[in-house]
Each structure stands twice: as C-alpha cells, then as structure tokens.
Chain A
Amino acid sequence: AQTVTQSQPEMSVQEAETVTLSCTYDTSESDYYLFWYKQPPSRQMILVIRQEAYKQQNATENRFSVNFQKAAKSFSLKISDSQLGDAAMYFCALNTGTASKLTFGTGTRLQVTL
C-alpha cells in the first residue's frame, strides 16, 4: 500500500514572499515518482512539478522547487516570489509500480495576500 500525507490543511503567504508546503509519503517500492499538482478554484488540476526517486538533484520549474529527502520520505514544495495566481489547492501525489497508480494527499489550500 502507498500513502501520501499533507499535514497543512491551509497556508497563507504574502505576495512576493516564499512559502513551503509539506508532504510525506510511504511506499515499499524502490522506484517511484512524486508530483505536486495545483487545483485552482473551479478549474482543472494541473501539474506543477515532478521528481524521480532515483534522482538526487531536486527538481525546479521557474519559481517552484522541491526539497526531496528520500530517507525521510519527505517531498516539500517551495514557491518563491508568490503571486496572486498561485492561490489554489496543492496536492502531493505518488506514482509507483508498473500499473502507474497515482495516489494523492489530502491537499493544502494556499492563500496569497497582498
């Protein structure tokens, strides 16, 4: 079985500041991928960033970066220079095994204030 835990139901950040969203996971698989998805209000979920378990280097995509700690099974998302458009639900997700099963956490609602 695989699980994904997001312990922060809500977070708030001021525009232009940096915020970190936490995620921990559990799996018995040695090869897997981790993802952060963003779900804006009333819009479809979109991929923000992905990380392969075998890669030690943390993934980055423009203002978004991750801190992947494999031994601790931790996968946090850092958003730099936060913008109003970053306000959304953020879901951490884990994909393992040949069947490509995608398991999500419960989400963190991010508010961006002026």
Chain B
Amino acid sequence: AQKITQTQPGMFVQEKEAVTLDCTYDTSDPSYGLFWYKQPSSGEMIFLIYQGSYDQQNATEGRYSLNFQKARKSANLVISASQLGDSAMYFCAMRERTYSGAGSYQLTFGKGTKLSVIP
C-alpha cells in the first residue's frame, strides 16, 4: 500500500480563489508528521507547512492551512487567495521514525499535484 496518496495529478484555480489539494496517508507510527512542499519549475523544494500527529489544532502558515482529519488519515492543503506565483508542483510528505538510530526520521513523498493558477 502506498504511504502517501495524492489523487489529483493536476488542478486549476482562478487567481484570488481558494484551492484544496488532497493528501491521504498510511502509517503505523503513532508519532508521525506531515509536510507540504512546493516545487516550482526551477526545481527546489520549498517547505510550506507542517502538522504533527499529536497537534490538536490545524496548522496555518500565512495563506496556507492544513485540514488535518486524523481518523480519515487525510491532510489536505488549502491555499487561500491564490496568486500566479503559486503555480507549481505540490508534494505531501510523511515523516516516520526509522528506528535506525535515535532521532532518525524518514520522509516519504507522494507523487505530487501540479497546480496552475489562471489569471
């Protein structure tokens, strides 16, 4: 079974509108973390937002918020007031302990969603 599933290969959104990018995950580690990264066409991976498995509240970072539904194992990214610069690939990733050493974690990425913002 895939650990991270992003079911939307591509999404379009009108400028200034909000958009939700879906992510579901699967893990047996009770202490996991979920990340969203943005990858523009230039190639670098940019950290956007983090949600820990024990966090009671949904994470927010500026225009980014994470809709965390633990029972459903979903961690959807919501981008409000989309801008043209938001056009990029978006990756959901899950951090789990590797048990290979103290404090060692492994990050598993989904296949990504390509977001296109339309003027």
Is B truly associated with A?
Answer: no
Report which B residues bind A (CB closer than 8 A). none
